Amino acid sequence: MQFGGRRKKNSINPQSELYGQHLQFYGQPPLENISLSEFETFAVERLKLLKTVENLGVSHVKLTDLYISKLEKELKKSQSGPTEYEKRRKDHISHFILRLAYCQTEDLRRWFIQQEVDLFRFRFNDLDPKQQLEFLHKNNLRYDTVSFPKENTWHISKTDALDLVRLRKVYLKQGYAYIPHQDIVTIVLNDFRTRLSKALALTARSLPAVHSDERLQPLLNHLSHAYVGQDYSIQKNVGKISLDQIDSLSGKSFPLCMRQLHQSLRENHHLRHGGRMQYGLFLKGIGLSLEQALQFWKMEFIRGKVDADKFDKAYAYSIRHMFGKEGKRTDYTPYSCMKVILSNPPSQGDHHGCPFRHSDPELLKQKLQVYKVSPSGINQILELVKGMHYQLACQKYFELTHNIEDSSFSLNHPNQYFLESQKLLGGGKDIKREMDAPQRSQENAASKGSTATQEVAANTSQHLAEMTEDLDSFFQDA
């Protein structure tokens, strides 16, 4: 894959034969030139699709009618393109882009493989038997499928037929393997999983060469931690949350990560720099103004070991910097779930991070008991944590603490949790309406075909800005 100017509309793709079906093993990497803008857009759209596959796979039994209908709906949204050829081309290229981003660690590889296998399973089952057979033969898997009707309809001997039924063995004839349909799906999925696992290992070896391209390294690192939803720093509700409300809101509408930070701050009158960054940007996102933030942190810190003069000298600058009033005047965004989970893990004495990812299961269980989560609910959460579905565990916590059966959203951001909670409790109508305004304007632009690139460019620019000027240097403890 190479990067250059805009692709010519009439150019011929030498790999056009790969797009005869909407399903492939991704054995051949893309060879055409694509622009960086297209690279970014394709990557983010596939990442959104894989996150949807993950959420549906945990929330519903896979391949049930409900699961299939919801995934079909999401696929229709993601498979945009003027022609079937363009849709398949985007599928091919976007898969390989995410390979580069998700081959970097074992956790990333495991997550990527599982979502791609689930997506492949859905697409394979969506093919009719003739198309499945064509796909297998095209990929040199010389299989055919058989059912188990009455024995006199078999085109093999009676003895062989009975052995196949009883022992579930494959029947070989003239280079073909005849396998029951339910078994062929398992075999094909295992084949795809094995191929993809080996491919990711090979891709990881090539990363030093890829990272030598300074255009790609920050982008690929960003994708593996990417948040692809609403930007919660863009809002008009500044000042609509009073300082007196924070204690009450923390118990009703804060996600567990922020609830734990707030509780620790109240108890210790101090948070280390990681906690201040995570919690401070969250409070900014829910509506605290700069003046309120300075007052909030100062009031709490002077109750501990920091006097007013020391706070003004050591901490006030960093809060103004967070709001884009110092330094490069970057308007820093609240942390997404992916950033909380995957970056800057807490060490001893820290209280930031994701409780579902970074807490010992027994300590997490005790915390949930204190917050009056039912025993059965705790078990459900711990099962999700065991399966490394940390965002889904948080979403289950939301459902249990708000007494609802099924939340109607996919949780990706602590500030999203707060807004959905306030919306449900009836206290966030104004906040929800005004914070949705930027999102509605983006959706209107999408209808004109321009939003995807703009959104990716904005996310990438924000990420690069945060990389070049790290807030950590302003949050060092005195």
Please tell me whether 337 is known to bind a ligand: yes
Residue 257, annotated as binding a ligand = yes
Residue 394 assigned as binding residue: yes
Q: Helices (H) and strands (E) in the chain — how many of each?
A: 23, 5
Q: Which residues contact 63 (CB under 8 A, 6 or more apart)?
A: 121, 122, 125
SS3 177: strand
- Alpha carbon distance 154, 253 (integer Å): 63
The residue written with tokens 């403890």 in the block is 477
3 state SS of 22: coil
CA distance 128 to 242: 59
State how far Cα 141 lies from the chain centre: 33
Which tokens belong to 259?
Answer: 């609830």
* CA gap 42, 92 in Å, rounded: 10
Question: How far apart are the C-alpha atoms of 45 and 294, rounded to whole Å?
Answer: 38
Token pair 């499945």 in the structure block, residue: 132
Q: CA nearest 259: which of 282, 285, 284, 230? A: 282
Residue 327: strand, helix, or coil: coil
Q: How far apart are CA 170 and CA 180, in angstroms?
A: 8
- Partners of 75 in the beta sheet? none
Instruction: Assign 176 to helix, strand or coil.
Output: strand
Q: Which residues are annotated as a binding site?
A: 257, 337, 354, 394
Residue list, annotated binding site for [4Fe-4S] cluster: 257, 337, 354, 394
